[in-house]
Structure 1
Amino acid sequence: MSAHPSIAVIIPSFRVTRHVLGVIDRIGPEVGRIYVVDDKCPDRSGQLVRAACFDPRVSVLDHTENQGVGGAVMTGYAAAIRDGATVIVKLDGDGQMDARLIPSFVAPILAGEADYTKGNRFFDLEQIRAMPPARLFGNAVLSFLTKLSSGYWHLFDPTNGYTAIHADVARHLPLGKISRRYFFETDMLFRLNTLHAVVVDVPMDAIYGDEVSNLRISKIVSEFLAKHVRNFFKRVFYNYYLRNMSLASIELPLGFSLLAFGGIYGALNWAQSARADVATPAGTVMLAALPVLMGAQLVLAFLAYDIASVPLRPIHKRIRACAQGAYV
């Protein structure tokens, strides 16, 4: 890919002083602007970049207080949009992401095939062996939860932070509402789905070295689960009731209602029969089982509709066309 001044790279910087200069050095000439966001780094990585990096493309942005990776990326988005970027790439400063892959992330967006691209470390099965088992299992669980909450059923590796987005799409995101910390990447997908943006996975290999992760799984499990549940119901409300109505809008609540009725009715009668030490009548069993079966079928029908509703038409083209039309 030749030089493209409207491609910008954002590097959130927090305790990455050992790697950030090398990451910047590996960014190719196709990138026009590089924003290093010092997220109140205790190692003063922003000062290091200012003192040791002489790349004219680099600008250092400072936070007066730590905002998390999401907050750093939002600051970078705002700066890149203000400076006229077309595509904005987010690249971590710890050296795990190969900067030589930037053209692969940008190409689908510039070609009009995607609004947002993200890395997928699970594409090459041979390379998966290099991933620590704990991360492998954790990503598999998080991927399933993210499919439910975001609506992007074709994606995997949702916590992958190697991403690129069209600036016109980023401009329409509620930047002030997106999660500021480790739930950032997943919350981004939820917000993108509410815009009906097209998201594409880009195969990549992770590089594991001596970097230190600040993420502690035990501290974020309950937080992630609660936020996934919240985003699922918000997405369903936005897409199936507020903006549109379809058969799926009836299937989900009716399915849940039948499941709840059958489960509660069956449990109460089973408990009553157990206390009386008598067999539960066949009619009672059927009256409990039939709603459960019907409810399960309706929920599965909703999921099938939801899976088939993954956005396929990039929205940045329509946003650009509407903006141009406004000035005609």
Structure 2
Amino acid sequence: MSIAPFRIAVVIPCYKVGERALEVIAGIGPECWRIYAVDDACPTKSGRLIAEHCTDPRVRVLYHPQNLGVGGAVMTGYRQALEDGAQIVVKLDGDGQLDPALLPLFCAPLIDGTADYAKGNRFYDPDGLHGMPAVRLLGNAALSFFSKLSTGYWDLFDPTNGYTAIRAEVLSKLPLDKISQRYFFESDMLFRLNTLRAVVVDIPMAARYGDEVSNLRIGAVIGEFLGKHLRNFAKRVVYNYFLRDMSLASLELLSGIGLLGFGTAFGVYRWHESAEAGLATPAGTVMLAALPVMLGLQFLLAFFGYDIATVPRRPRTARLREAEPPAPG
């Protein structure tokens, strides 16, 4: 499928990337319409380096007066791409870990109407993981599980992958000022996309690691990410299952939490009471505590089964086109 008629923009956040950003720009093919290099108050002046040494007429360098983080840099590029009339916006990192030659693969599902947002997945082919450091491998696996929980996209993996592409129609509906400005922004994007019921697909890709130094430390952020994932999960459940709509799954969730909480609290209280008295807990009391716990777990499993089954499958861009009035005769 040809992608030439589409105005495809590429956003590259630049912070301590130096000449590697020039190599990334040089690798972007002619299918790209415009390139935005966002200097996020880089102390090594990456933006100035690009402006002075890059002769590609598609490149525009945007500058931040103060550092906002990688997410803030991407949002700046997104806003400028929307203002300039881009139809698809791709995000690439400036450190060279992401292959610009894969850009058509990321744009294809957006162009053919099967997805609203595409992201990379470095875990799809196990043979391609040999170059990934072990700490990153384990950290990404843990973050992927929590991301499934908070975003509702149970069929996706590798949430911190920085290679993404999004349709402008969907991007324009996102609250860009509310999306996390630091490293959590990719996961936060997925959470926001789920509230729009946008279709997201994984694009298999190989991990590339050279001599670049990543600014992301998985061990340092995993606690922060966990808290934010739990927050987004609570917000998503309240919005999708109690404000936007109520269903049998809503009742299953409430029943599961209530029964599990009652059974656990009652069991702990009676166990402590029996221990203080030096007596064995009666079998009937044990069952009275265990039964609500088992029923609560069953209700919660039923809720998550429903949640997994309702991952968005119909692209938002297709729904928007159907809602448009027909062109005058």
Q: TM bucket by the smaller chain?
A: over 0.9
Q: Residue 5 of structure 1: CA displacement? A: 5.1
Question: 1:213 deviation in Å?
Answer: 1.2
The answer to whether the Cα contact below 8 Å between 1:109 and 1:116 also exists between their aligned partners in 2 is yes
Contact 1:4–1:32 (8 Å) recurs in 2: no
Distance 1:62 1:318 in 2: 36
Contact 1:38 1:45 in 2 (8 A): yes
Which residue is equivalent to 1:17? 18
Point out 4+ residue stretches in structure 1 off by more than 4 angstroms. none
Deviates more, 1:209-218 or 1:280-289: 209-218
Identify the residue that residue 292 of structure 1 maps to in structure 2.
293
Unmatched runs of 5 consecutive residues or more in structure 2? none
Structure 2 vs 1, CA of residues 222 and 26 (structure 1 numbering), >3 Å: closer, same or farther?
same
Distance in 2 of aligned mates of 1:246 and 1:5: 40
Indicate conservation of the 8 Å contact 2:16/2:42, yes or no.
yes
- Which residue number in structure 2 is paired with residue 44 of structure 1? 45
SS at match of 1:257: helix
Asked if structure 1 preserves the Cα contact closer than 8 Å seen for 2:135 and 2:218, the reply is no
Task: Output aligned runs, 1:170-189, within 5 Å.
Answer: 170-189=171-190
Superposition pairs of residues 173-322 of structure 1, within 5 angstroms = 173-322=174-323
Q: 1:109 to 1:138 in 2, by over 3 A?
A: same
SS in 2 for 1:165: strand
Contact 1:116–1:163 (CA under 8 A) maintained in structure 2: yes
Q: Using the alignment, how far apart are the partners of 1:125 and 1:217 within structure 2?
A: 20
Question: Alpha-carbon deviations, 1:92-130, whole Å to 9, x = none?
Answer: 000000000000000000000000000000111111122
Summarize the alignment of residues 51-130 of structure 1 with structure 2, pairs less than 5 Å apart: 51-130=52-131
Contact conserved, 1:255 with 1:296, CA < 8 A, in 2?
A: yes
Deviation, structure 1 residue 253? 1.5
The answer to which of 1-10 and 59-68 deviates more is 1-10
Counterpart in the other structure of 1:3: 4
SS at 1:157's partner residue?
coil
Cα deviation for residue 282 of structure 1 reads: 1.0
CA contact (8 A) 2:129 2:207 kept: no
Contact 2:139 2:222 in 1 (8 A): no
Residue number in structure 2 paired with 1:27: 28
Alignment check: 8 A CA contact 1:118 1:161 kept: yes
1-structure distance, mates of 2:118, 2:24: 20
Alignment RMSD? 1.3
For 1:210 and 1:219, the matched residues in 2 are separated by 21
Query: How many residue pairs align between the two structures?
Result: 327
Please give the alpha-carbon distance, in whole angstroms, between the structure 1 residues aligned to 2:17 and 2:67: 14
- Aligned counterparts of 1:118 and 1:101: Cα–Cα separation in 2: 11
Counterparts of 1:84 and 1:97, CA distance in 2: 25
Q: Separation in 2 of the partners of 1:208 and 1:275?
A: 59
Q: Which range moved further: 205-214 or 159-168?
A: 205-214
d(CA) in 2 for partners of 1:213, 1:134:
13
* Unpaired segments ≥5 residues, structure 1: none
Q: Secondary structure at the match of 1:31?
A: coil
Q: State how far apart, in whole Å, the 2-side matches of 1:120 and 1:221 are.
A: 19
Output the CA distance in 1 between the equivalents of 2:325 and 2:130.
51
Q: Secondary structure at the match of 2:7?
A: strand
Alpha-carbon distance in structure 2 between the residues aligned to 1:326 and 1:269 = 68
Secondary structure of 2:325's match?
helix
2-side partners of 1:46 and 1:225: how far apart?
Answer: 33
Partners of 1:122 and 1:217 in 2: CA distance: 16
User: What amino acid maps onto 2:286 in structure 1?
Assistant: V
Given that residues 117 and 163 in structure 1 are in contact (C-alpha distance below 8 angstroms), is that contact kept between their aligned partners in structure 2? yes
TM superposition shift of 1:257 = 1.0
1:325 aligns with 325
Q: Is the 8 A contact 1:119 1:162 kept in 2?
A: yes
Q: Distance in 2 between matches of 1:26 and 1:321?
A: 37
CA distance in 2, matches of 1:157, 1:4: 31
Work out whether residues 9 and 91 of structure 1, in 8 Å CA contact, stay in contact via their aligned partners in 2: yes
3-state SS of 2:33 partner: strand
Closer/same/farther in 2, CA of residues 5 and 154 from structure 1, 3 Å limit: closer
